[in-house]
Amino acid sequence: MKKKKIRIFDTTLRDGEQAPGFSMNHEEKLKMAKQLETLGVDIIEGGFPIASEGDFVAVKEISKIVEKCAVAALARAKKDDIDRAWEAVRDAKKPIIHTFIATSDVHLKYKLKKTRTQVLNDTVTAVKYAKLLTNNVEFSAEDATRSDINYVCEVFEAAIDAGAVTVNFPDTVGYAMPYEFGEMIKTITEKVKNIDKAVLSVHCHNDLGLAVANSLAAILNGAGQVECTINGIGERAGNASVEEIAMSIKTRKDIFQDYYADIVTEEIYKSSKLLCNITGMHIQRNKAIVGENAFAHEAGIHQDGMLKESLTYEIMTPQSIGIKHSKLVLGKHSGRHALKSRYEELGYELSKEELEKAYKLFTELADAKKEVFDDDLIAIINNEISGIKGQYEFKRLQITSGTEIIPMAIVEIAEDDEILRESGMGDGPIDAVFQAIEKMTNMKGELADYSIDSVTSGKDAVGEVVLRVIFEGSPFVGRGASTDVIIASAKAYIDAINRAVYSKAKAGEMKG
Ligand code: KIV
Ligand code: ZN
């Protein structure tokens, strides 16, 4: 029997990005979109163009740079939304207009203030209108799992008749149970007369921790598309995670023998790490598939079993998601060639200039610590090489701190070719450093979050600082890495300032 392809519709840049704390700037969205393409997702939902200028521009650019995947833009079932979505996505090789309206009585009564007949008519009008613009129209029945299933079937049938080639059944509030959700999908395949003319999709939220379980139950009951996000980010408790769905299909071949997805699973780890680095949001250590502990075997009895035969405790290998096994990589005597090959093994193609910069940073790091690990190299890329080229660059600092004295700092930064120097006093040495930086950049921020993590283990480990600062009411993430936590903090604060300055300039460009 021919296997059925399960289409992966990635909404990291739409449902994921709209969740608090996960906002990305323009370049970051493009970078993420490119990585999603390498990961092999079938569709990238790039944003909700009518919602903001930023979403509109991002979808427009993503549509131009993505070649292999289709690009979707979200629109309510309204003409203006659909026009804006089409304007954003029309340059894509495979554009999709994704239009939606709620179908549950609670949404109809309190949110839309419409009758079922009106919503049915709106659906048909919206799909027909979108269909004039592109053949590829997806329709979603928001809050489908709390809707009367017979009514959803009626709406789906009308949407398909109007031209929808995908109908999506979202568990918008993450309310369904896997068994029940599977039954709902089965009912749709049985009751919607023209369902063979469309792909049935699901979009599950994780409020009860069941988004992936529900998506898998849907696949087994007839769904041909799953909507999901990297690391499961999304509204509230998030969406179903791409990596968990892809690895479930791959690992449980006995159950999913009739299905496949085109995800390049070896790109999963890199995609997950990239998202964490872009958003500054770490995932919990025990997160399935990509958490730090996902392949760590601590208990003695487990380690013993693993040494005898890895099958005892390992259902999938770290390599299958792209984690390379070697731990110690390079030392201070390693040359550029070794560094370049190591980066290639880790999946990074560096240009000549990037390699030069990475090599300089690597030698500094190798001087400061005896052993340089893969994660240290990835931190160099994410923190120093592939970030936005900022207006300000950290140069050096000096601090005085202790129990009986007021902490003071002198910080030097570069603005283009000019070196700026300032001093600051604060509640602690890090605060003093931030005060000095604020004076030089004329930026006053409010620190909303600060976290420090060691990238690798050992007393000489690289510390990575991730912080969130509010500038003029908008939050900006900043990251910095160093074996010295005060330097890492200074770099992170400057990074946040650079992002704020960049975003202000970009907003000005868009208006002007
Ligand atoms: O959760 C939801 O219902 C959505 C729709 C717009 C598909 O995100
Ligand atoms: Zn959603």
Atom of ligand 1 nearest to the CA of 74: 6
Atom of ligand 1 nearest to the CA of 168: 7
Say how many Å lie between the CA of residue 205 and the centre of ligand 2: 6
User: Of the ranges 120-124, 153-157, 282-286, which one carries the lowest mean pLDDT score?
Assistant: 282-286
Q: Whose CA is nearest to atom 5 of ligand 1?
A: 142
Q: Is pLDDT above 60 for 512? A: no
pLDDT tens by residue, 427-459: 999 999 999 999 999 999 999 889 888 776 677
Distance between CA 142 and CA 79 in Å, rounded?
A: 18
Of residues 467 and 506, more confidence is placed in: 467
DSSP 181-242: HHHHHHHHHHH-TTGGGSEEEEEEB-TTS-HHHHHHHHHHTT--EEEEBGGG--STT-B-BH
Say which ligand is closest to the CA of 142. 1
Atom of ligand 1 nearest to the CA of 15: 8
- Fold match between domain 4-279 and domain 388-511: no
**DSSP structural state of residue 17:** T
Say how many Å lie between the CA of residue 504 and the centre of ligand 2: 29
Say which ligand is closest to the CA of 240. 2
Ligand 1: does its nearest atom lie under 6 Å from the Cβ of 140?
A: yes
Say how many Å lie between the CA of residue 245 and the centre of ligand 2: 16
Distance between CA 51 and CA 58 in Å, rounded?
A: 12
Of residues 85 and 363, more confidence is placed in: 85
Which two structure tokens, joined as six digits, stand for 315? 């259902």
* DSSP three-state, residue 141: strand
Distance between CA 41 and CA 36 in Å, rounded?
A: 6
Ligand 1: does its nearest atom lie under 6 Å from the Cβ of 100?
A: yes
Say how many Å lie between the CA of residue 239 and the centre of ligand 2: 7
Closest CA to 416 of 393, 386, 450: 393
Determine the angle formed by the axes of helices 26-39 and 268-279, rounding to 10 degrees: 170
User: pLDDT class for 332, splitting at 50, 70, 90?
Assistant: confident
How many whole angstroms from its chain centre is CA 199? 25
Distance between CA 274 and CA 27 in Å, rounded?
A: 13
Distance between CA 413 and CA 395 in Å, rounded?
A: 5
Q: Whose CA is nearest to atom 1 of ligand 1?
A: 172
Of residues 300 and 7, more confidence is placed in: 7
Ligand 1: does its nearest atom lie under 6 Å from the Cβ of 435?
A: no
Amino acid 370: pLDDT: 67
Kind and range of the H or E run holding 62: helix 53-65
Instruction: Characterize the bridge pairing of strands 137-142 and 166-171.
Output: parallel
Q: Is pLDDT above 80 for 219? A: yes
Amino acid 298: pLDDT: 67
Amino acid 392: pLDDT: 94
Say how many Å lie between the CA of residue 103 and the centre of ligand 1: 12
Closest CA to 299 of 291, 307, 290: 307
Say how many Å lie between the CA of residue 505 and the centre of ligand 2: 31
Ligand 1: does its nearest atom lie under 6 Å from the Cβ of 170?
A: yes
DSSP 261-324: ----GGGHHHHHHHHHHHH-PPPPTT-TTTSTTTT---SHHHHHHHHH-GGGT-SS-GGGGT--
pLDDT tens by residue, 2-40: 999 999 999 999 999 988 878 888 888 999 999 999 999
Say how many Å lie between the CA of residue 254 and the centre of ligand 1: 31
Q: In angstroms, what CA-CA distances link 323 with 177, 289, 315, 506?
A: 33, 11, 15, 36
Distance between CA 275 and CA 12 in Å, rounded?
A: 9
Amino acid 329: pLDDT: 61
Closest CA to 376 of 312, 460, 295: 460
Say how many Å lie between the CA of residue 15 and the centre of ligand 2: 6
pLDDT tens by residue, 373-410: 777 887 788 767 765 568 999 999 999 998 889 999 99
pLDDT tens by residue, 230-253: 999 999 999 999 999 999 999 999
Amino acid 457: pLDDT: 67
Q: In angstroms, what CA-CA distances link 334 with 184, 340, 413?
A: 59, 10, 30
Q: Is pLDDT above 70 for 177? A: yes
User: pLDDT class for 365, splitting at 50, 70, 90?
Assistant: confident
Distance between CA 130 and CA 147 in Å, rounded?
A: 24
Amino acid 281: pLDDT: 82
Ligand 1: does its nearest atom lie under 6 Å from the Cβ of 376?
A: no
476 strand-pairing partners = 469
| All structural domains of the chain with their residue ranges | 4-279, 296-384, 388-511
Q: Is pLDDT above 70 for 507? A: no
Of residues 157 and 382, more confidence is placed in: 157
Closest CA to 140 of 109, 112, 171: 171
Say how many Å lie between the CA of residue 206 and the centre of ligand 2: 10
pLDDT tens by residue, 91-145: 999 999 999 999 999 999 999 999 999 999 999 999 999 999 999 999 999 999 9
Enter the pTM of the model.
0.83
Backbone dihedral region for residue 4 (phi beyond 0: left; psi -120 to 50: alpha; all else: beta): beta
Of residues 411 and 506, more confidence is placed in: 411
Amino acid 506: pLDDT: 65
Say how many Å lie between the CA of residue 203 and the centre of ligand 1: 7
Closest CA to 199 of 9, 1, 46, 37: 9
User: pLDDT class for 256, splitting at 50, 70, 90?
Assistant: very high
Pocket perturbation via mutation, ligand 1, pick of 17, 43, 50, 74 by most ligand atoms within 8 A of CB: 74
Looking at residues 248-267, what average pLDDT do you find? 98
Atom of ligand 1 nearest to the CA of 11: 8
CATH architecture for residues 388-511: 2-Layer Sandwich (3.30)
Amino acid 473: pLDDT: 79
Q: Which residue has the tokens 């003319």?
A: 197
Say how many Å lie between the CA of residue 16 and the centre of ligand 1: 11
Ligand 1: does its nearest atom lie under 6 Å from the Cβ of 277?
A: no
Give residue 141's identity as a one-letter amino acid code: A
Amino acid 404: pLDDT: 87
Query: Domain 4-279 adopts which CATH fold?
Result: TIM Barrel (3.20.20)
Amino acid 508: pLDDT: 62
Amino acid 308: pLDDT: 78
- Contacts with 405 (C-beta within 8 Å, 6 or more apart), sequence order: none
User: Of the ranges 342-346, 418-422, 434-438, which one carries the lowest mean pLDDT score?
Assistant: 342-346
pLDDT tens by residue, 457-469: 677 777 888 888 9
Instruction: Characterize the bridge pairing of strands 372-373 and 328-330.
Output: antiparallel
Q: Is pLDDT above 80 for 289? A: yes
Amino acid 335: pLDDT: 84
Say which ligand is closest to the CA of 145. 1
Q: Whose CA is nearest to atom 8 of ligand 1?
A: 15
Ligand 1: does its nearest atom lie under 6 Å from the Cβ of 203?
A: yes
Say which ligand is closest to the CA of 172. 1
Q: Which residues surround ligand 2, an ion (CB under 5 A)?
A: 15
Give residue 71's identity as a one-letter amino acid code: V
- Centre a 10 Å sphere on the Cβ of residue 460 and count the other Cβ atoms it contains: 13
DSSP 363-421: HHHHHHSS-EEHHHHHHHIIIIISS---SEEEEEEEEE--SSS--EEEEEEEETTEEEE
